[in-house]
Amino acid sequence: MTRNKSIRKEDLSEKREYHTQSTGIFFKVKNLLYKQNSPYQKIEVFENEYFGNVLLLDDLVQTTERDEFFYHEMLVHPSLITHPDPLDLLIIGGGDGGVLKETLKYHIKNVCLVEIDPHVIEVSKKYFPWLSPCLKDQRTELVIADGKKFIEKIDRKFDIILIDSSDPVGPSASLHQKRFYEKLKNCLNNEGIVVAQVGSPLYNSELIREKSASLKELYKIVSFYVIPVPTYPGGSWCFVYLSDNAHPLSIKRDPPLGLNYFNLETHRSAFSLPNFLKEKSE
């Protein structure tokens, strides 16, 4: 009985995400706002004194109110400022709405958000204030579907595809496979760009090496870039920019005003890789 009480008390006061057997990150929980299992994953939202509302999927931090702009701005804006005329966009994953929020800052025609788990959408609408107005935007098209199956069936071309998946486990595992990236290419217009998150440059460096080799068989331009994300494993995160014709350092337009992290200097510097990661991605 004592052990069970102790576990319940720890659940209510603290959340931990373990990155290895000996490292991780913890949050003190001010209020546990939501905790339920969907058919796909465990969904939790809690309030932290510093980071505000925090979303966890299967015990892994997805986003926080305080630092979401690091990840979302750097996933979206590198492609939007380098595509010659971005009009039709596709987001796979991203049910918290952070990526959608950033894309709508441009004069685009349409953005299709494909999310497998409707519970993530509903929970995020309640606890993350940016999502509801984005879903009401007339340019937004929401599709509840498996991203892999959606790509395999759709007969449609996009200018930019943004992959906001979680780690390569559970419902997101198929979004990290070579076959999926082959299908993505078939859905791109001539100047099309794919940007995807590929994990921690520290903890996932071997996976990044493997992904680099397979992606170079599919795309002419494969450029990795790294940014800080305070609440992600190791404090930094890696993305990959893919295209046959658009180059990540060929700037076509200025980014929107009012961004918290992204500017042309942070854009260029993100593609200057540290030596250990440069060796993995070459």
Residues tagged active-site? 164
Cα gap 36→120, rounded to integer Å:
11
Closest CA to 237 of 277, 196, 200: 200
Contacts of 158 (CB under 8 A, 6+ apart): 88, 89, 90, 112, 187, 188, 189, 192
Cα gap 206→201, rounded to integer Å:
9
Closest CA to 128 of 42, 44, 55: 55
Strand partners, 223: 241
Backbone angles phi, psi at 209, to 5 degrees: -60, -45
What 3-state DSSP class applies to 23?
Answer: coil
Tell how strand 221-228 and strand 236-243 pair up: antiparallel
What 3-state DSSP class applies to 76?
Answer: helix
